């Protein structure tokens, strides 16, 4: 199973608002759920726009989900190297563990090396900037939905 890189939206204002949702009626909760689903989808779209594309696999692996029970939106990249693209990685030298050399597949042939140096990779964030762009809108959209619902029930 591929590793998942998951970002979950949390903020102080949002936590305060969500803690009070339990006291609200069903229509208000449904309105907040819909607002959070819309923002989660926009975060996903922003991540897809921002991701570095080489083969397109990472871009195609970006997905989003929403848990109504937890009132939690999740945007994830399912490729096991997604966190390396998001946060970068430092340079590494790999030495063989059991033998004197490593056999590395290269096309239909193999390359034999005593050690392999992997260069440092700079961070190329795509999910965090997408979240930061939408975070201010999240609280505003929830407030707007609650106010709209409050006017209907009055």
Each residue's pLDDT tens digit, 66-111 = 887 777 888 989 999 898 899 999 999 988 888 888 888 888 898 8
What is the chain's mean pLDDT, rounded? 81
Q: What is the pLDDT of residue 125?
A: 92
Reading the block at residue 9, the tokens are: 């939206």
Q: What is the pLDDT of residue 1?
A: 41
Are 32 and 16 in contact, with CB atoms under 8 Å apart?
no
In the chain, the N- to C-terminal Cα span, in Å, equals 50
Average pLDDT over residues 37-55: 91
Question: Can you tell me whether residue 135 is helix, strand or coil?
Answer: helix
Higher pLDDT, 6 or 132: 132
Beta bridge partners of 102: 113
Among the listed residues 127, 135, 153, the one whose alpha carbon sits nearest the alpha carbon of residue 49: 127
Q: What is the pLDDT of residue 2?
A: 47
Residue 16: exposed, middle, or buried by beta-carbon count in 10 A (0-12, 13-18, 19+)? exposed
Average pLDDT over residues 136-144: 82
Contacts (Cβ under 8 Å, ≥6 apart) of 104: 110, 111, 112, 113, 116
Average pLDDT over residues 111-126: 90
Q: Which pLDDT band holds residue 52 (cuts at 50, 70, 90)?
A: confident
Average pLDDT over residues 4-31: 63
Average pLDDT over residues 102-122: 88
Contacts (Cβ under 8 Å, ≥6 apart) of 63: 44, 75, 76, 78
């Amino acid at each position: 199973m591929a590793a998942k890189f998951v970002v979950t939206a949390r903020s102080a204002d949002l936590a305060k608002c969500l803690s009070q949702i339990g006291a609200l009626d069903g229509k208000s909760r449904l309105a907040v759920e819909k607002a959070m689903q819309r923002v989660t989808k926009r975060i996903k779209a922003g991540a897809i726009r921002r991701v570095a594309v080489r083969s397109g696999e990472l871009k195609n692996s970006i997905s989003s989900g929403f848990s109504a029970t937890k009132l939690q939106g999740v945007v994830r990249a399912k490729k096991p190297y997604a966190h390396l693209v998001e946060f970068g990685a430092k340079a590494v030298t790999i030495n063989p563990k059991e033998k004197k050399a490593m056999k590395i597949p290269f096309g239909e042939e193999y390359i034999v090396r005593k050690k392999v140096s992997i260069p440092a990779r700079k961070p190329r964030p795509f999910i965090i900037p997408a979240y930061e762009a939408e975070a201010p809108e999240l609280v505003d959209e929830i407030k707007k939905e609650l106010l709209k619902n409050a006017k209907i029930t009055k």
